[in-house]
Amino acid sequence: MEKKRKGILLKGIAASPGIIIGRAVVLNKEKVNVESYPINADKVDKEIADFKRAIATVKRGLRKLSEDVSKRLGPEYARIFEAQSMIVDDQIINSKVVELIEKEKLNAAYIYYQQIDAVIKQLSKSSDPYLKERILDINSVCAKLISVLQGVKKSTVGYFKGPTVVVARDLTPGDLLGFSVRKKVGFATGLGGVTSHTSLLAKSLNLPAVVGLGSTVEKVNTGDNVIIDGLTGRLYINPGSETLKYYHLRQRFLSDLFRQFLVLRDQPAQTKDGYRIKILNNIELPSETAKVIKYGAEGIGLFRTENLFLTDNDFPDISKQFRIYKTILKRMGDCPVIIRTFDLGGDKFTSSKVKAIDPNPFLGWRAIRFCLDRPDIFKTQLKALLKASVYGNLEIMLPMISNLDELIETKELIQQCQDELAKEKAMFKKKIPLGIMIEIPSAVMIAEYLADEVDFFSLGTNDLIQYALAVDRTNEILSHLYQSFHPAVLKMIEQTIIAGHKHNIRVGICGEFAADPYGVILLVGLGIDEISVNYQATGMVKQLIRNIDKKRARAIARMACRKKTALHVEEFLRKKVKLYFPSLVPLVDFMRGANNG
């Protein structure tokens, strides 16, 4: 009998809140190992038949997964498996594999792997994170098909019946959607950051997650007893009895906390001294509107339209976009819905029409730059938004504005779209609020000029922090340098709010900074007008705001902005919360993971 390993604590990045106490299932621990071997001439037909059967088997599995996900989460979530099925059914690759089996008389698994590997090497020339996720999808499909060909049964999420933690070096959005059909499942990965696409999707799917564990994930074996704490970024392997007891209590406390938050659903986010802040939600997909309403947000502060490419390889036409925007607006009624235009680069399109390799997508051809360079693509989106505007309270937001020229050019393009739609006698609202993301330091520096041209600002702190501190937010090696409370970041937030209010426009925030209890207190003190967070954080933000007063929060924020390091800021905030808002200490400590055993 194998001796049970001693308990191990791994520390990563808290990516999605929640606690799972269960068993580990390790995925992708080993690379696909495919060796070549010759096929006798009289066995070639059988090898080809086996290859085709393997394709059919994988497609059946993906179809079943698609049906399960569609039933539980909605059809828009399930479409990613249709895209994976298209990868399996790629006629160009599959025909080439059959041709090479006949010509070279080698095994199908080896030839298929070589063909897929060539495609991946070509795509890997880009460092674009969205394209990397597409590569992960291709790898996932390849591994499935080769496993069928080799008769190998790999660990799956269904390996255990109870609460499960999936552990892998990395996971795709498709992986998350696939195992989200189960209850009580979370995940831990070696790669990723709190603002990576997978982490954001995990929040939307309510999957507890810890990311950025690096190579330490290799210490986990399938079958290990584990605890994942998505609030603190901890993963325990074979925890002791005291740790288990502590976490069972912590789980119950979290459940009670969320029940308390639901009580606040219809209550305003208003400080003790009467300062009112609008609470909105960030959403990834249209079906999340039900959660926005359920948890008591007052509207949508960010819909990321680039997620239309979660399942599409090409640009969605005006009809598809119109239907999606219309659906969201109708579901939200009179509540404001801020829809951000595409924040993506040319690499996200794999069709030949727009294919381009950008060596540095974070600083390169993306977002508003890409859209202005491709007005045909941008105008399609703008027209779809304009046509949908009559179905609700639409506001349009532009990402990655770095100068005034980009903003002026975009406004001219919007006017062109309005003129063209008017000639077509299409219905649309003439006056739609227009805002911009403040996520580049240059935009902060010229915020007063930009404020004259827009109706609102929204602080995109996820990117603002990485650009201000020169830290790639998806790089786990640099995660310790990605400091939300760096004094430079606080001063940029303060400067943006001052500039917006000076020009009588509202200032909101839609970054992860706003989901941190300390961040909420600072934002109240700095005078933020709107806070947009994931639906899970709605109740927490309301409870915090309703238990503080703006006067003290303002004094705290001003002093915090004068601190010299992020550590000094956090230490200062810890003391002030304890002094001025003692009733909030248990909530703040719990959400931030203080004193965790």
Which position among 142, 417, 510, 561 bears the catalytic label? 510
The C-alpha atoms of residue 508 and residue 523 are separated, in whole angstroms, by 9
Place of tokens 């905030």: 573
Is 417 labeled as catalytic in the residue annotation?
no
Burial class (CB in 10 A: 0-12, 13-18, 19+), 27: buried
Interior angle at CA 553, CA 547 and CA 556, nearest 5: 135
Sheet of 164-168: strand order equals 8-11, 234-237, 225-229, 19-26, 164-168, 185-189, 209-211, 13-16
Quote the tokens at residue 20.
């799972």
d(CA 588, CA 215) in angstroms, rounded, equals 30
The span from the CA of 384 to the CA of 491, in Å, is 37
Query: In whole angstroms, what is the distance from residue 414 CA to residue 174 CA?
Result: 35
Contact 539, 296 (CB under 8 A): yes
Of 142, 197, 417, 486, which one is the catalytic site residue? 197
Give me the phi and psi of 366, to 5 degrees please: -145, 170
**How far is Cα 405 from Cα 376, in angstroms, rounded to an integer?**
19
3-state DSSP assignment of residue 48:
helix
Residue 501 a catalytic site member: no
User: 210 by DSSP, 3-state: which?
Assistant: strand
* Closest to 137 (Cα-Cα) out of 12, 19, 313: 313
Nearest to 189 by CA among 173, 208, 209: 209
Burial class (CB in 10 A: 0-12, 13-18, 19+), 346: buried
Could you tell me the two tokens for 252?
A: 């119950």
Find residue 165's DSSP bridge partners: 24, 186
Measure the CA–CA gap between 410 and 378, rounded to whole angstroms. Answer: 9
Contact yes or no for 381/305 (Cβ under 8 A)? yes
Residue positions annotated with a catalytic role: 197, 510
